[in-house]
Structure 1
Amino acid sequence: MKLVICGKGGSGKSTIAALLAKSLVKNGSSVLVIDTDESNFGLHRQLGIDLPPDFTDYFGGKKTVLEKIMQAEPDWESVSFFEDEWSFSDIPPAYCPEKDGVKLISIGKIHEVGEGCACPMGMLVKQFIGNLRLNPDEVVITDTEAGIEHFGRGIEENADAILMVIDPSYESMRLSEKVAELSGSIGKPVYFVLNKVDGANEQFMRETLEDRNTVIAAIPADSSLSLAGLRGEEIMTDKAEIKHLWQTLMEN
């Protein structure tokens, strides 16, 4: 299964990605987490893994990838970075560290002022996800940057399902409408994960969402998770809500 996790900034999507990856591994799955957020430096720490080199460097670096794309103008879609399908074992170990059954790839980070847009990384990760061949026990979790720009890059086109993390904020609730619309336009199921909730705001959020059946998990506010994130520590919490989340996904 190939999952894409999205949400507004600060909603906790990287935390959910890390919790989900760890929970799936405990259930016997092999998990690859793909970090596509060029400005997020916390996900790898939540997984307890050192930040790997930019996966873009394997293809010559961001500048080389961009040049290859520009040379094909206007037929950008003809550019291919993968001649064959890849499996987990084909991923170069230097770019894909592993801990406790969870593998991590970082597509690329912003390292310098003026180095340009993240479009090359978007095209690369779209093709990478599309060319991955999975065994039945393998799961890919793609953690996106905040907002919905990744939809414009087409990252979701090769996913099996989309998880949107919604925190108790007006902005997050409004964004859920657009995510549902965009997901529907490409025929992808979208599931909502309510995060940092208590009894009062959870009820309001469920009542406000148009289709309550798409809410597959509600994660209570947890000060230990917040503190771990603040300290940049590995997440060790095992939540029953996360187990219910992936079990529901597998059933659907």
Structure 2
Amino acid sequence: MKIVVCGKGGSGKSTVASLLAKNFAKNGFSVLVVDTDESNFGLHRQLGLDLPQDFTGYYGGKQAVMQRIMAAAPDYGSVSFFDEAWGLADLPAGYLSEKDGVKLVAIGKIHEAGEGCACPMGMLAKQFIGNLKVKPGEVVITDTEAGIEHFGRGIEESADAVLMVIDPSYESLKLAEKVAELSRSIDKPVFFVLNKVDGSSEHFMCDALGDRHAIAAVIPTDPSLAVAGLRGDEVEADSADIEHLGRFLRDTLAV
């Protein structure tokens, strides 16, 4: 199963991705988390892992990847970084962090001012996720950058489902409509997680989304998670809400 997690900045998508990964591992799954957010330096800490070396390094680094893409101009779509399909067991160890059944790959980060755009990471991420062959009992969770640029990059094309995290804000609810539209256009199911909610905001958000959208879970505001995020601490996946979300995805996607 391949799940792409998205949301606006600050919605808690990386926290939900981390909690969900830990929950799947707790339930006996082999889990790979793919970090495609070039500006997120906190996901690995929420997972309790070291930040792995940029996967672009496997191909010589970001600039080498860019040169390979540019050399194919104008036929950029002809560039392929994979000659054969990979399974989770085939991932190069030097570009992984791993703990308690959860592996982490970080496609690439912006490290220096003026180093150029993130386009090489976007193309590599799309091919990396699309190339992975997932067996029964394996789950790939992709944490994307804030917003919807990843749809333009084609990250969702090989996913089994899109999971959008929505916080109590007008911007998040409006973005949910666009994510639903984009997901429908590529024939991908989209599920919503209402995050950081209380009683009144949950009622309003459910009314705003309406019956036409599937709400996979409702996660109440949790001060302990907020403090963990502030400190960069590892998060724990033992809440009933996250267990419900994991079970919903397993049942709905028939894993």
TM-score, structure 1 as length reference: 0.98
Q: Deviations over 1:125-146 (max 9, x none)?
A: 1111111111100000000000
Question: What CA RMSD, in Å, does the superposition of the two structures yield over aligned residues?
Answer: 0.9
Within 5 Å, give how 1:66-77 maps onto structure 2.
66-77=66-77
- Where structure 1 has 5 or more consecutive residues not aligned to the other structure, the ranges are none
Q: What does residue 132 of structure 1 align with? A: 132
Partners of 2:19 and 2:242 within 8 A in 1 = yes
**1:232 equivalent in alignment to 2:232:** yes
Q: Deviations over 1:102-161 (max 9, x none)?
A: 000011110011111111111101111111111100000000000000011000001110
- Where structure 2 has 5 or more consecutive residues not aligned to the other structure, the ranges are none
Question: What letter matches 1:229 in structure 2?
Answer: G
Q: What does residue 208 of structure 2 align with? A: 208
Matched residue SS, 1:176: helix
Question: What letter matches 2:171 in structure 1?
Answer: E
Q: What does residue 39 of structure 1 align with? A: 39
In structure 2, distance between residues paired with 1:116 and 1:36? 16
Partners of 2:180 and 2:190 within 8 A in 1 = yes
Q: What does residue 14 of structure 1 align with? A: 14
Q: What does residue 156 of structure 2 align with? A: 156
In structure 2, distance between residues paired with 1:164 and 1:225? 19
Question: What letter matches 1:160 in structure 2?
Answer: D
Q: What does residue 199 of structure 2 align with? A: 199
Question: What letter matches 1:239 in structure 2?
Answer: S
Q: What does residue 80 of structure 1 align with? A: 80
**1:222 equivalent in alignment to 2:215:** no
Q: How many corresponding residue pairs?
A: 252
Question: What letter matches 1:199 in structure 2?
Answer: G
Matched residue SS, 1:83: coil
Shift of 1:211: 3.3
TM-score, structure 2 as length reference: 0.97
In structure 1, distance between residues paired with 2:219 and 2:206? 13
Partners of 1:85 and 1:131 within 8 A in 2 = yes
Of residues 22-31 and 209-218 in structure 1, the stretch that sits farther from structure 2 once superposed is: 209-218
In structure 1, distance between residues paired with 2:74 and 2:187? 27
Shift of 1:213: 4.8
Shift of 1:210: 3.4
Of residues 204-213 and 105-114 in structure 1, the stretch that sits farther from structure 2 once superposed is: 204-213
Q: What does residue 103 of structure 1 align with? A: 103
Matched residue SS, 1:228: helix
Partners of 1:3 and 1:161 within 8 A in 2 = yes
In structure 1, distance between residues paired with 2:232 and 2:212? 34
Matched residue SS, 2:122: helix
Of residues 194-203 and 232-241 in structure 1, the stretch that sits farther from structure 2 once superposed is: 232-241
The list of structure 1 runs, each at least 4 consecutive aligned residues, that deviate by more than 6 angstroms after superposition, is none
Percent identity between matched residues is 69
Q: What does residue 51 of structure 2 align with? A: 51
Question: What letter matches 1:150 in structure 2?
Answer: H
Of residues 211-220 and 41-50 in structure 1, the stretch that sits farther from structure 2 once superposed is: 211-220
Q: What does residue 189 of structure 2 align with? A: 189
Question: What letter matches 1:72 in structure 2?
Answer: A
Q: Name the CA shift for 1:213/1:179 in 2 (closer, same or farther; >3 Å).
A: closer
Matched residue SS, 1:66: helix
In structure 1, distance between residues paired with 2:111 and 2:205? 38
Q: Deviations over 1:62-98 (max 9, x none)?
A: 1111111111111111100000000111111111110
Matched residue SS, 1:236: coil
Q: What does residue 244 of structure 2 align with? A: 244
